[in-house]
Structure 1
Amino acid sequence: MSVSEACESILEGLEAGRIDIIKSIIDHVTNNKGTDFLLEVLSNDCCQEGTILHKAVRIGSSDAVRALLMAGSDPGILNSNGVSVLDSIDDTSFPSLLQVFTEDLFRNIAGSATDRIIILLNSGISLDVVDSDKTKNSCLHWAASFGSPDTISLLLARGAQVNALNSEGATPLHDAVLRADPRVVQLLLDSGSDVNSVILSGKYAEKSALDLAEGKEEISTMLRDQSLKKETNVTEEPGGNVEKLDEDKNIDTKKEKAGLEEISTITSQELKSKSLKLALDRRFGLLWPTPQVVEQLAGADVEIPKHLYLVVESQSNNRISAHQLLDVWDLFREDLEGLGYSASVKRFDLSGQSSAGPGEIQLAVNSSLGEQDFTLVLTEKKIKMIGGGVTGVQYAVSTFLQILQLFRNVGIPPVSIKDRPMLTHRAALLDLAPYGRLPTVSTLLNLVRILSNMKLNKIYLYSRLSSTPDWQLNYSPGDLISIDRECSDRQMELIPALDIVQPCAFIELPKYTQVFSRVVSCFSSLNLVSLGPCLSSVIFSAARIIGCNQVFGQIWNILSVPSNTQLILCSNSVLNLENMVEDFPSSVSLIDYGFQANYPFESNLHHLSRSGNPVLCCPGTSAWNCLIGRPQNMIHNIAQAAKAIAEYGGEGLVIANWTGSPALTHLSTALPGWVLGAGLAWNTKAADTINLGVLGEILSHHIFQDSTGGSGSAVVELGLAECSLDQVYPDQQLQTSLLLSSILRPGNLHLEKVSLEQLGAVIQTSRRCLSKLQGCREVVEGEGEVEGLLQEVTLGAELLLLAARLSRGLLQAGEYKIELLQPTFKTDIANKLLALIEQYRAVWLSRYLPGGLQDTMLHLSNLLTLLLPESSQVTL
């Protein structure tokens, strides 16, 4: 599809009034041609009015304008008459159109999309606009509630009024204090926010910023300091020297502030000592998820015999039989043998009468504990694994195996571990898009095992469905049943996550009932069913018009699920509809999807708390549309979501791995995000201490079973290397990485701001990591799942190295054209690419469904043809 063909198709949809067709074409162009191509289409002067957006404005279609703006249309582009889109709006004929542009500005402020904000402001949208006549929140109000510090700085630099009042008389500072982000509060204070301003009406009437900061010590201190500066007439000279007119009072303030900091430190230490007794041996610190209590005991190191005897306690009330506990142990038999151990049952004891001794493991259930709680004690006398239920026993055994992995061939210090999950809902989401990285059933079953060992308890299978009654998933019903059974055996719940391809009217949803019914019938438990963003938006839009009771009264029948099923709906489209969320039925949970590093999970959950419904956060693995992942974005995104859940008493965390096309990234790239999410969902306090170095060690020991620690650190280093170039192009960070673009679109690269030194650093990192991975594979010496994962990471590193070498060659050529490269260099790169294509094919066919392979091979072979035009394309 050419630019002109794409423009013509969108214009036809526009003239027919078919917004669904416009959105479908935009999605098709984005998925198959990329964002850069779409922006070229949207900026093309393709009709009499100018751009497609000019045409939509002339027609007066608010929905079309909204769709085009969300796709990235620039309203500042001039047509052949020198008229911009905003200049062409007749606000007497189409007064609602201007509000659409205002809404887009506020949406991007909430999402901290600074580049897009600049485009919108440069197009002529005024900073004086408000979100509605009723609330009258300014741009800075929104930024203070949802935006990043960079967004706030941008608006202030553009002249935003720092003390603007909304309809209740609240300033942006009031919103910032309610948000409880010290960085935002300090930024507004430094810009002249009035500390003493009092809200005039509403929920917080007659309250100042300091009143709202009650219980938030750090922010309270900042506000008191600012207020004191005003009271003592502190002046600041241009050079930055502060003249203190009341020295005694300033000294007292310093003492007060120091005292508060000391109290804060003591409180933090007390909380830490209560929730986590740090062990002396650092290897216990690598247990994942981090247990809440790890207490190293006195005594000699414990030598674990190579053959273990199980003493199984059975309860007299038969709530949980001894055979159920043995079934749990059998789940880990293969893992235990892989570590060089074996086990057999010695005897069954009645509850409370166990006589397990040295070298024996006591398996038991204590009904006074929660179902998922467990205690693990290792001493010379015995090994005790006690759970509140079958799940708790499973988690105790899993932790025991982690300890064996961390202390291979050495004695283990005696230890007592007690743990329970902080969140009841701990899930991974797998996108089943047909063009993506869909693992074979065998690979997916191994993934279930990995995620189970990380103590996740739910897996979402996300699918976008059309109303066609034919079976639409790449997995057969039998495959889904096999996956569901594996999850059930491991105390995990497999959850259908249903969505539709494109929006439709609510009255059209019954057309999907047959396809919904066929999918959900493959799931043994329908306690929970998740609905994706598009389907949720259709439901919420209808509820806003005809009422919640009437809409939700039909949903369970439309989905073909039992009336007691808890529905999980995407809340993103109702975040600003506080009045409506209060009417949601209790059988609805709300999930907030967000994948940006600065996504406002905390603010969103604050707004959703009005509903009283269970809430969840869904950050992403940041593993799409790149070669090896974005670890910094991933760790920040998931940590912020975990903190928000902990702050607002949310139910759980769902870590989504979205699929992009082409699927050059393997599933192993998502593992860092899933593993991190598992740990933070179990122990949200770890969000304050986790870093990429620790995460690398956790991946090495518990995923790659690599005692050298090199494999996990290689995954992290490779991701950081790829992102080091993305930082030059902020608008590309959440789209296609620069180095992936060098493989997909080598003739359309923008390397002006990339240096040879940067590319050289990526090349060095890739080579160093490849050496690490080779050493790890020699240590592991396996052919199973671990070897398959290491193959994937190695292939990702090879692709990264090739992309960096090609980009460096194009930069040296001067005009970024492949035809200008030296013939010997092109041949060298082509030979390496040819070898990688064969490796890619071999890895993919052994671990993935063939559906995504053809698209991937096409892109790689196109690059090969560009390098060696005389060569024929690779046979697909």
Structure 2
Amino acid sequence: MHLLPKPKSLQLAEGSYALPKIWQISLPNELDQRVSASLAQLGEHEVVAQNANLTLTLDSTIAHADGYRLQIAAAGVQIAAQTAAGLFYGLQTLRQIQQQSAAQLPYLVIDDTPDFAVRGFMLDISRDKVPTMATLYALIDELASWKINQIQLYIEHTFAYQNHPTVWADASPLTAEEVRTLDDFCLERFIELVPNQNCFGHMRRWLTKPEYRDLAECPDGCDTGDPDWGYFDEPFTLAPEHPGSIALVRSMLDELLPNFRTRTLNVGCDETVELGLGASAAAVAERGKGRVYLEFLQKLYHEAHSRGYIMQFWSDIILHYPELVGELPQDAEVLIWGYEADHPFEAQSATIAKAGLPFYVCPGTSSWNTVAGRTTNALENIANAAKHGLHYGAKGFLMTDWGDNGHWQPLVTSYLGLAIGAARAWNALAELDVVALLDTVVFADSNKVLGNLVYQLGDVYRAVPPLLHNTSSLFRILQANPEAIANLKLDREGLHNADEILLQLRNELPNTKPQRADGELCLVELAWAIDLLRHAVQRGLWVLDQQPSEQASNLQTEIDGLIERFQEVWLSRNRPGGLQDSLKHFATLRSSYGEVQYA
């Protein structure tokens, strides 16, 4: 049996209980209606006063507010929990057992509690995909079944601010009504929907508009002096000394926050790479970059606190100035993020814990900048975050799924990271059979093929050195010009090995039988991802062969077909806004073969 997340304690016993055709359920008095509503997931059922085969009980002796005890024995099934949320989570476990047990439920006792009080997921809906409501509903339902209890939708410009309509005009944004509907939907599943609006860096979509450009640190762009960031030809970061910057944030929050029930707000503030290079240069020279950053963060804290909100923010900048950590507001929640296997979660968690600040550890799915993921990196990054977050007393564990450079990766690519993140958010140190969890719980593949296929597809990046930070060589081949590709010093044997793996996986796709609702779409997405990565292989070999023109013609025809399929895949789960921006990332790829069609 493979359960997601894996329970803390599961003891099997001899014997089994026949799965009833109708669940006859005994409920405690005045039970939260959200639990009653979730009973439909078990199938046909009725609430009874006696002779129940499923009994739900509220029990104050259960150790954790989200914990539960589930027992299957000759007398039937019993679930006890301290709270309604615990009963809901117990029912999710029973549902998975039922799905895997045919006509007989094994006798067992499960005692289960989470390692992290907050078990979250953050989805980037700003670069460049804004999912349809149907996509979001399905994703939230699945995450709830894996005991996720917080969701954040990362916003730069994709909320329909009525006072700022030019910013989101072509983005197909979430409206206030849609956010309120999502908030209700999440609440019904014991999930907190937290507003996540970047308020300092990552403001390009605002600052490139004429009416906001004067609020930029560097209105005309600048050389960041950072080899990872290079030259910016457009503004990216708010000028913290400009009084209009905090006024803009105030206007944004006044519109955004009333649509959420929560009293938590993520203000972002990561990657303020231009700070001190433009409008704030004199202030930074006088007081230091860390101090100027902290002062604006404190202004944001005031805006959140004055509205009754707890402020969350990303940790990357403040951790460069450990001498200032002690000046952070003591109720601000620090989000420690990092996406490589060896990210220093241990040292960073120790720094924040020593200051007595509440914090989350925030690993990632490793899906972005790859097309098909980086399986090994994702698993090690997630385990690293969970281990050290648990050790240093992190309040929360927040999985992240970003959309850098066009958000090319299809959603199916993120399922592995999402599932393992949910598993470790609940049971941080558990031994996990990743392939079995994918086959059994995530994809429900009756042929037990798809789990390994997705795992191996996500590991193709390892066949093609060099192994790069936050991306893969195959993805870099797709988005770089031939000169930059040549500088990668690609290995011909590695490219051929990758192609052999990809071809084998492509041939295995017809042998899969996913039973999930979007199973057929998952296979369409995977076929496209494999084919695009095979194109990357051929493009890499083309560069190594000095770019012969006869191959360029074939590659051009192939990529045109892949771009057409990309648009179909995109629109199957996402709104049209942002698609044209994403297609621009194909321009270098397409233009190197011939006439530019996607500029």
The aligned residue for residue 568 of structure 1 is: 312
State whether structure 2 residue 47 is matched by structure 1 residue 329: no
* Larger helix percent: 1
2:153 to 456, 461, 486: 461
Aligned partner (choices 790, 797, 810) of residue 523 of structure 2: 790
Residue in structure 2 matching 1:520, options 223, 243, 257 = 257
* In structure 1, distance between residues paired with 2:444 and 2:371: 23
| 3-state SS, counterpart of residue 705 of structure 1 | coil
1:480 to 179, 182, 189: 179
Rg: which structure is higher? 1
Q: How does 1:692-703 map to 2 (within 5 A)?
A: 694-703=433-442
CA deviation vs aligned residue, 1:207-240 (integer Å, no higher than 9, x gap): xxxxxxxxxxxxxxxxxxxxxxxxxxxxxxxxxx
Residues 524 and 412 (structure 1 numbering): CA distance in 2 closer, same or farther, change over 3 Å?
same
Partner of 1:415: 108
Does 2:270 match 1:533?
A: yes
The match for 2:342 among 577, 581, 598 is 598
Determine whether 1:845 maps to 2:571.
yes
Residue 23 of structure 2 aligns with which residue? 309
Q: How does 1:124-143 map to 2 (within 5 A)?
A: none
Aligned to 1:398: 92
Alignment check: 8 A CA contact 1:499 1:534 kept: no
Q: Deviations over 1:76-109 (max 9, x none)?
A: xxxxxxxxxxxxxxxxxxxxxxxxxxxxxxxxxx
Structure 2 letter corresponding to 1:838: E
* Deviations 1:526-556 (CA, angstroms, capped at 9, x unpaired): 2454533258999x989975998x9788545
TM-superposed deviation, 1:428 = 0.8
Determine whether 1:495 maps to 2:197.
no
- Partner of 1:478, secondary structure, is helix
Give the distance between the partners of 1:752 and 1:615, measured in 2 at CA. 38
Contact 2:457/2:505 (8 A) holds in 1? yes
State whether structure 2 residue 56 is matched by structure 1 residue 363.
yes
Q: Which residue of 1 aligns with 2:209?
A: none
The residue aligned with 1:803 is 536
Q: Distance in 2 between matches of 1:573 and 1:861?
A: 33
Q: Secondary structure at the match of 1:742?
A: helix
> Compared with structure 1, are the counterparts of its residues 301 and 462 closer, same or farther at alpha carbon in structure 2 (3 Å cutoff)?
same
Distance in 2 separating the partners of 1:761 and 1:303:
50
Where in structure 2 are the equivalents of 1:553-592 lying within 5 Å?
Answer: 555=300, 558-559=303-304, 562-563=307-308, 565-575=309-319, 577-592=321-336
Q: Which of residues 110, 128, 139 in structure 2 aligns to 1:436?
A: 128
| Mapped partners of 2:476, 2:292: distance in 1 | 46
Question: How far 1:425 sits from its partner (Å)?
Answer: 1.2
2:552 equivalent to 1:819: no
**What is the CA distance between 1:399 and its match in structure 2?**
0.9
Counterpart Cα distance in 1 of 2:561 and 2:326: 59
CA distance in 2, matches of 1:493, 1:568: 14
Q: How does 1:680-691 map to 2 (within 5 A)?
A: 680-686=424-430, 689-690=431-432
How many angstroms apart in 1 are the aligned matches of 2:298 and 2:487?
55
CA RMSD across the alignment: 3.3
CA contact (8 A) 2:240 2:296 kept: no
Q: Supply the distance in 1 between the matched residues of 2:480 and 2:335 (Cα, whole angstroms).
A: 36
2:144 equivalent in structure 1: 452
Match of 1:14 in 2: none
Where relative contact order (Cα < 8 A, 6+ residues apart) is larger, the structure is 2
Q: Which runs of 4+ in 1 moved over 6 A?
A: 535-538, 540-544, 550-553
1:117-157 deviations in whole A, cap 9, x for unaligned? xxxxxxxxxxxxxxxxxxxxxxxxxxxxxxxxxxxxxxxxx
Alpha-carbon contact 2:4-2:437 (below 8 Å) kept:
yes
Alignment partner, residue 630 of structure 1: 374
| CA shift in 2, pair 1:453/1:665, >3 Å | same
- Are 1:854 and 2:584 an aligned pair? no
Task: Specify the SS of the correspondent of 1:582.
Answer: helix
Do the aligned partners of residues 668 and 546 (structure 1) sit closer, same or farther apart at CA in structure 2, a change above 3 Å counting? closer
Call closer, same or farther: CA 1:364–1:519 in 2, change over 3 Å.
Answer: same
CA contact (8 A) 1:291 1:419 kept: yes
Q: Does structure 1 conserve the Cα–Cα contact (< 8 Å) formed by 2:58 and 2:81? A: yes
In structure 2, give the amino acid aligned to 1:295.
Answer: Q
The alpha carbon displacement at 1:406 in A equals: 2.8
* Bigger shift: residues 466-475 or 522-531: 466-475
Unaligned runs of 5+ in 2: 204-236
Structure 1: gaps (5+ residues): 1-282, 337-341
- For 1:288, the equivalent position in structure 2 comes to 4
SS in 1 for 2:6: coil
Q: Is the 8 A contact 1:592 1:618 kept in 2?
A: yes
Q: Aligned letter for 1:345?
A: E
Which has a greater percent of strand? 2
TM-score by length of 1: 0.57
- Report if aligned partners of 2:372, 2:457 keep a CA contact under 8 Å in 1: yes
Cα distance, 1:850 vs. partner? 1.5
Letter in 1 for 2:475: L
